[in-house]
Amino acid sequence: MTFKNWIHLCIDMQRMFAEDTPWHVPWMKEVLSQVEEVARWRPDRTVFTRFVPPKRASDMLGMWHDYYRKWDMMTLDRLGPSMVDLVPSLKVLVPPARIFDKMTYSPWTTGELDRVLRAEGIDAVAISGGETDVCVLAAAMGAIDLGYHVILLKDGVCSGADQTHDASLELLGDRFSVQLEILSTEAFLARA
């Protein structure tokens, strides 16, 4: 089966996770070449999400306020807005690739991304990026809830924690096998 109406949803491949910050994800450099391969192959079918922290913890409500009190050094006032940028090798693909900013783990929370993709006739989402056990997991679960066919690129996702990365792949592959496929980048590209 080939994928026809698909989009590559690349989650949070940003400088603040690639560089020396408290949120550094060392694995990111290990999956970057696979992410680049898909994004370069069809940049017009790539949407990059960016996790955007608030300027200050006090800008957030509820538990997000507490979260950013703990991670105050990762607020925009302290971190600087340039750290929200995509890693340079992906940033050059915009445009035709697009950027979708979000302030939560899931890119689906506001409904805007779903509206855009539905208007374009998208029915399949190939997910890459990081972290497997946080934002990638939220993106996959949201896409499943919205009825998209989800393809998780197993060699194109990363995490800062091996155990929960592996557990997330196992959970998604076992419990959601009707709605989600786990494929290598090569296998996805062969069917796209």
Q: How many residues does the chain have?
A: 192
- What percent of the chain lies above the pLDDT cut of 90? 97
Confidence band, pLDDT 50/70/90 cuts, at residue 126? very high
Q: How far is 10 from 157, CA to CA, in rounded Å?
A: 9
Mean pLDDT of 156-182: 95
Residue in the structure block whose two tokens are 């697009």: 98
Confidence band, pLDDT 50/70/90 cuts, at residue 185? very high
Q: How much of the chain is helix, strand and coil, in % rounded to 5?
A: 45, 20, 35
Mean pLDDT of 154-183: 95
Average pLDDT over all residues of the chain:
97
Q: At what angle do helices 135-145 and 162-175 cross, to 10 degrees?
A: 10
Q: How far is 73 from 16, CA to CA, in rounded Å?
A: 11
Domain 6-55+85-191 in CATH 3.40.50.850? The answer is: yes
Asked whether the bond before 131 is cis by omega within 30 degrees of 0, the reply is yes
Asked whether the bond before 95 is cis by omega within 30 degrees of 0, the reply is yes
Residue in the structure block whose two tokens are 């946080």: 134
Show me where the domains of the chain are located: 6-55+85-191
Looking at residue 1, its pLDDT comes to 72
- What percent of the chain lies above the pLDDT cut of 70? 100
Q: Which of 53, 42, 40 is nearest to 14 (CA)?
A: 53
Confidence band, pLDDT 50/70/90 cuts, at residue 2? confident
Q: How far is 111 from 128, CA to CA, in rounded Å?
A: 20
Distance of CA 108 to the CA centre of its chain: 11
Q: How far is 133 from 165, CA to CA, in rounded Å?
A: 5
Is the pTM higher than 0.75? yes
Looking at residue 22, its pLDDT comes to 97
